[in-house]
Structure 1
Amino acid sequence: MNGSQPATDLTTVLDGDHRELDRLCTELELGQGSPENRRDLADHLIAELVRHAVAEEPYLDGEGDLAEADRLMRRLEGTGPQETRFERLLSGLIHAVRRHVRDEGPAAVRRLRGGWSPERRAELGKRVLEVRDAAPSLPHPHLADRMPQADQLWPGPGFVDRARAALNGAAEDTGSPG
């Protein structure tokens, strides 16, 4: 990454996402914590991945690692941490995220760097950050009574779709990044 790029440059934003996704995968791969804690961390990975996918998908081809991750996230939604398939699905999700972070994501970032001016990338990065700031995020369980949208984004069945809808709604409010 070029150190002179502004923090709002879309490529800087996406590179930062890739580093955070990689860090969350590493934390999950360590396999520490109770099943419930692993479920919470998996939900956090899913929330971050949805945020990233909404930001990056306009610049990727329709299929690939993010599409595979999306299928796995949806299967994970309804799976409890005590179920035997939870760790298998989580492992598949981590593998898809790792492939994206290693291959598909950096290729999209390279295309953006080569195809758009620094000014345009800064404008798009700023829009992506505005959408993220405007969209509700995954609430902490202890804050549920103080966050009116907590029930909309609470993890569980439909979480991926609710998170995408919230981010897409925020994009419409601030102007789409595309």
Structure 2
Amino acid sequence: MSTDDLASVLTEDHLVLSRICTELETDHTSPENRREVADHLIAQLVRHEVAEEPHLPLGPALCGVDDLMRRLEGLGPQEARFERLLATLIHAVRQHLREAGPAVTGLRNRCPADRLKELGQEVLKARQAADSLPHPAIADRTPPDALLRTGPGFVDRVRAALTAVR
């Protein structure tokens, strides 16, 4: 089985998301570190959604999760709402991981291996290109190092960078 076919890419995403959730659930270090890990979870979740959306329904667990991530963007890690919203996000991610396993298996069963490989390579290329691609609407006004800086607009900037190369 290929490690760069779409099903393998999505499965690897699920493992990464699970590890980040576990880190947030078990590691209660400094608020700044929790903010960094939460931002990492948000970025990974957005890149996973962009890869999965065209091929599989995201399911009820991730409905409304973009709004939740945007609300988290504007909060400081010391705020009580930050931890409540983060716990809600982790719960949604965990639910998605439980729901998505059978869907990925179904994808493997109904899609030819060569097509899965082609789709997986498209996703991986888009991710590589997104690392350096600015959002078209702000590229001429925003310094490049600020494009993927966390904070307000982070979810939208990550999503825009990933979808612009499709």
TM-score using structure 2 length: 0.88
Residue 75 of structure 1 corresponds to which residue in structure 2? 71
Give 1:109's match in structure 2, choosing from 90, 104, 112: 104
Q: Which amino acid aligns with 2:122?
A: R
Question: Is 1:158 paired with 2:153?
Answer: yes
Matched residue SS, 2:53: helix
- Structure 1: 5+ residue stretches without partners: 138-147, 172-178
Work out the CA distance in 1 between the residues paired with 2:28 and 2:58: 34
Q: Which runs of 4+ in 1 moved over 6 A?
A: none
Matched residues in 2 for 1:150 and 1:37: separation?
Answer: 20
TM-score of the two chains, using structure 1 as the length reference: 0.83
Q: State the superposition RMSD in angstroms.
A: 1.4
Structure 2: tracts of 5 or more residues without a match: 133-142
| Residue identity (%) | 57
| 2:21 equivalent in structure 1 | 25
Of 85, 89, 100, which residue of structure 1 is paired with 2:81?
85
Structure with bigger helix share is: 1
Q: Is 1:64 the counterpart of 2:57 in the alignment? A: no
Cα distance in 2 for residues equivalent to 1:71 and 1:63: 16
Aligned-partner SS, 1:49: helix
Encode CA deviations 1:122-149: one digit per residue, 9 max, x unaligned: 0000110011111127xxxxxxxxxx63
Q: CA contact under 8 A between 2:46 and 2:158: conserved in structure 1? A: yes
Partner of 2:4: 8
Residue matched to 1:141? none
